[in-house]
Amino acid sequence: MRKVDLKKLLDNLSLEEKIGQLLQVCGYYYEIEGVVTGPQNSAGFNEREIASAGSVLGIAGAERLKKIQKNYMEKHPHQIPLLFMADVINGYKTIFPIPLAQGCSFNPELVKKCAEISAMESAAAGLHLTFSPMVDLVRDPRWGRVMESTGEDTYVNCVFAKATVEGYQGTDGLNKKGRIAACVKHFAGYGAPMAGRDYNTVELSERTLREQYLPPYQAAIEAGCSTVMTSFNTLDRVPSSANKKLMRGILRDEMGFEGMVISDWAAIEELINHGVAQNRSDAARLAIEAGVDIDMMTTCYCRNLKELIENKVVDEALLDDAVMRVLQLKNDLGLFENPFKDADEKDEKTLILCDEHRAFARKLAAETMVLLKNEGILPIPKKGKKIAFIGPHTSRRWICGVWSIFGEEKDVISLEQAVRNKKIENVTFSTGCPILKDTDALELAEKDCTAIAEDNANKQVLLDEAILQAKNADVVVLSLGEHPAQSGEASSRVEPALDAQQIELFNKIYEANPNVVVVLFNGRPLVLGEIFEKAKAVLEAWLPGTEGGNAVADILFGDENPSGKLTMSFPRHIGQIPIYYNDFKTGRPYTGNKGKYFSKYIDCPNSPLLPFGYGLSYTSFEISDVMLDRDSMTCKESIFASVRVKNVGKTAGKEVIQCYIRDEVGSVARPVRELKGFHKVELQPGEEKEIVFEITEEMLRFYTIDMEYKSEPGKFTVWIGSSSQTQNGREFILI
């Protein structure tokens, strides 16, 4: 056991040693298995620099990390342990659904448990910190990273930010067994790149930034999140890693964040590309002044800070503060007492992919799936039907999302495997069209995936086989979607839709047998077009992870009743993007009025194909009119708004009761409605429950014309229902 006096330790460090604490290099430099998650062009560290680095990313495994730590500690003059960080985004080895799907569960308890399991497995594998959660608000499905967010709503993102941070870190100390530190990212506004192109400029008004984009980061910070990562983008033309107003003014002074800030991969050096720094030295100065503590994967800090400090360009106190935050985190994790923390080969064996984790992954995956359409064809009876399972995702195991960097394909249950496990009779399986190769996801993401489909020569043979199977079946389950490498970082798409090959497959199969159930495996909302019109049922399965196939089969055959709701709108047309439910009032709102001069398209409705909060069940629920215990309140009072919900179907099921509020008149234009609360309620057939929401003055606050965060008296409308389009509302007054 070793207790350290951090201040004393800091005082004993040389300038180079201190700077070393601020350098993070990737595991690649230690062992070839380390995962590279960004461009390596700039790196080129020398051996001395690598030896001085205070943290490592992208490498895991108890034996490996213990060895690296041991060697490092033996050589380190002050025995300061290394911090091991990685992107454990939706699970370590037990892979859970992508975060976008997790949001659709509307079940923060489950998502918290998912983070707990991810933390346990990661900790056993020697990791100390995960670069998660990403809480960036997203409104543009062209952006590949919507898969890493919980969607388009501020409130939902806040709820899941908190749940995830608490899941990883617990609330009783980071040094506790099975806990890892969380890193909320990407501060700030990374989810709004123009035209959905990754790393592109962000243009947000300060009001929108503060009101809609910052609260989820704040929620993570309030939940105790130890670390914040800067974003790649500019905000008001200033890249975050050089943005003192954002990183010190807003993050630290206003939001009260006291922990460590890490740059995103090479973001400090990219200040040169942004054209705000002349060279690496300039970039290092800007970043340290802005309050960025760790430099991920560039030589900016390690080759320039010393000179900048010696020449009195940068105040050494800034360096000391940054180093202190790194040491503090190492200390909070208990690494000075035990540099290996929970790394343990035996625990790895018992915990990783254990039955309990798999069972939970299956349950969570089923709860994240959203039934988008059902003309009574689902669930499919387990007996008495001939079922043709067709499509490129039917037998695909790699249904995990690109950030499952430690997950392995061999551990994943495909849909085909799951159907076989259920011993369903009279089934056939075929891919129907060429499938994309599961090669290196990063390599795939560099190209247009549709262009590199395997087995193109065999196309007609595959199609003929599938058509024959469809003709002989009562029901076709057609699994379509995106290859996982088509979403995630650096995977923006101008056409968030199914590729031509899969659309052709759908049409050919539909011609052969119109009883088609479409199952979608994808990382973003897609424009579904005629597929949605024609299919008898559509199930959004997202990228569901290790137990994904089992979870889909559970829903298809009625062992689970779907209860997910969309957290991102599905556009009818690409031209509607960005599309989101809580847009602002305009001077010429279109509500079906006759005439031309309204805010609308002449060739497409304004509404999305499927709105935020939407999702079907195998049962039906009746929701009563909204009841208010009073219809006015002062700032000190609250109103209780309630509905009664009844399961009027024949199956037990869960419904997400959602509460939206609109401020009818404000000093600035207000959103048409905003989600203020939700309850997921489980009801047996015939069962009824009352669901109550407390409306407080705090919920009615916004940034007024004077940029004050407060409520304004006046009329409001509250709606309670089962999607963002509910019309079940009542008015109330804030006095």
Q: Is 295 in the site for ligand NOJ (CB under 6 A)?
A: no
CA angle 223, 131, 578 (to 5 degrees): 85
To ligand NOJ, the closest distance from the beta carbon of 26 in angstroms equals 8
If the CB atoms of residues 282 and 489 are measured against ligand NOJ, the closer one turns out to be 489
How would you list the strands of the sheet with 537-540, edge to edge? 370-374, 537-540, 516-521, 475-481, 387-390, 427-430
What's the distance, CA 373 to chain centroid? Answer: 24
If the CB atoms of residues 24 and 726 are measured against ligand NOJ, the closer one turns out to be 24
The Cα–Cα gap between 248 and 325 comes to 14
Sign (positive/negative) of CA torsion 551, 553, 555, 560? negative
To ligand NOJ, the closest distance from the beta carbon of 3 in angstroms equals 32
To ligand NOJ, the closest distance from the beta carbon of 185 in angstroms equals 5
Instruction: Give the DSSP per-residue string, 629-641.
Output: S-SEE-TT-EEEE
If the CB atoms of residues 157 and 513 are measured against ligand NOJ, the closer one turns out to be 157
To ligand NOJ, the closest distance from the beta carbon of 264 in angstroms equals 5
Dihedral in degrees, nearest 10, Cα atoms 528, 529, 530, 536: 40
CB 533 within 8 A of CB 565: no
Query: Residue 520 — φ and ψ, nearest 5°?
Result: -105, 130
To ligand NOJ, the closest distance from the beta carbon of 173 in angstroms equals 24
Quote the crossing angle between the two packed helices 300-310 and 316-332, to the nearest 10°.
130
Work out which of 45, 84, 155, 265 binds ligand NOJ, going by CB under 6 A: 265
Quote the crossing angle between the two packed helices 108-124 and 154-169, to the nearest 10°.
40
To ligand NOJ, the closest distance from the beta carbon of 340 in angstroms equals 23
If the CB atoms of residues 257 and 678 are measured against ligand NOJ, the closer one turns out to be 257
Query: Residue 125 — φ and ψ, nearest 5°?
Result: -85, 10
Q: Is 27 in the site for ligand NOJ (CB under 6 A)?
A: no
The strand pairing partners of 639, in sequence order, are: 695
To ligand NOJ, the closest distance from the beta carbon of 367 in angstroms equals 25
Burial 515-547 (b: 16+ CB within 10 A, else e): bbbbbbbbbbbbbbeebbeebbbbbbbbbbbbb
| Annotation says 264 is catalytic | yes
DSSP letter (8 states) at residue 151: -
The Cα–Cα gap between 20 and 294 comes to 10
If the CB atoms of residues 131 and 570 are measured against ligand NOJ, the closer one turns out to be 131
Q: Is 37 in the site for ligand NOJ (CB under 6 A)?
A: yes
Q: Is 269 in the site for ligand NOJ (CB under 6 A)?
A: no
Which residue, 537, 435, 533, is CA-closest to 481?
Answer: 435
Active-site residue among 87, 136, 153, 264?
264
If the CB atoms of residues 264 and 674 are measured against ligand NOJ, the closer one turns out to be 264
If the CB atoms of residues 297 and 683 are measured against ligand NOJ, the closer one turns out to be 297
Q: Is 87 in the site for ligand NOJ (CB under 6 A)?
A: yes
If the CB atoms of residues 4 and 490 are measured against ligand NOJ, the closer one turns out to be 490
CA angle 643, 648, 652 (to 5 degrees): 100
Task: Looking at residues 485 to 544 of the shown chain, list those that interact with ligand NOJ (rule: CB under 6 A).
Answer: 489
To ligand NOJ, the closest distance from the beta carbon of 186 in angstroms equals 6
- 3-state SS, residue 184: strand
DSSP letter (8 states) at residue 410: G
How many alpha carbons fall within 13 Å on the CB side of residue 350? 4
Sign (positive/negative) of CA torsion 569, 573, 578, 583? negative
Q: Is 264 in the site for ligand NOJ (CB under 6 A)?
A: yes
To ligand NOJ, the closest distance from the beta carbon of 37 in angstroms equals 3
- 3-state SS, residue 179: coil
Q: Is 185 in the site for ligand NOJ (CB under 6 A)?
A: yes
Work out which of 20, 38, 170, 496 binds ligand NOJ, going by CB under 6 A: 38
Q: How far is CA 473 from CA 476, 544, 632, 698, in A?
A: 7, 27, 60, 57
Size of the site for ligand NOJ (CB under 6 A): 9
The Cα–Cα gap between 2 and 178 comes to 20
To ligand NOJ, the closest distance from the beta carbon of 723 in angstroms equals 31
Site pattern 45..84 for ligand NOJ (x: CB under 6 A):
------------x---------------------------
If the CB atoms of residues 150 and 658 are measured against ligand NOJ, the closer one turns out to be 150
Q: Is 241 in the site for ligand NOJ (CB under 6 A)?
A: no
Strands (E), 245-300: 260-262, 295-296
CB-CB neighbours of 665 under 10 Å? 11
Site pattern 129..158 for ligand NOJ (x: CB under 6 A):
--x---------------------------
The Cα–Cα gap between 6 and 326 comes to 10
If the CB atoms of residues 20 and 38 are measured against ligand NOJ, the closer one turns out to be 38
If the CB atoms of residues 230 and 502 are measured against ligand NOJ, the closer one turns out to be 230
The Cα–Cα gap between 128 and 131 comes to 10
Greatest CA span in the chain, whole angstroms? 82
If the CB atoms of residues 39 and 605 are measured against ligand NOJ, the closer one turns out to be 39
Sign (positive/negative) of CA torsion 258, 260, 266, 268? positive
To ligand NOJ, the closest distance from the beta carbon of 34 in angstroms equals 11
The residues carrying an active-site annotation are 264
Residues that bind ligand NOJ (CB under 6 A): 37-38, 57, 87, 131, 185, 264-265, 489
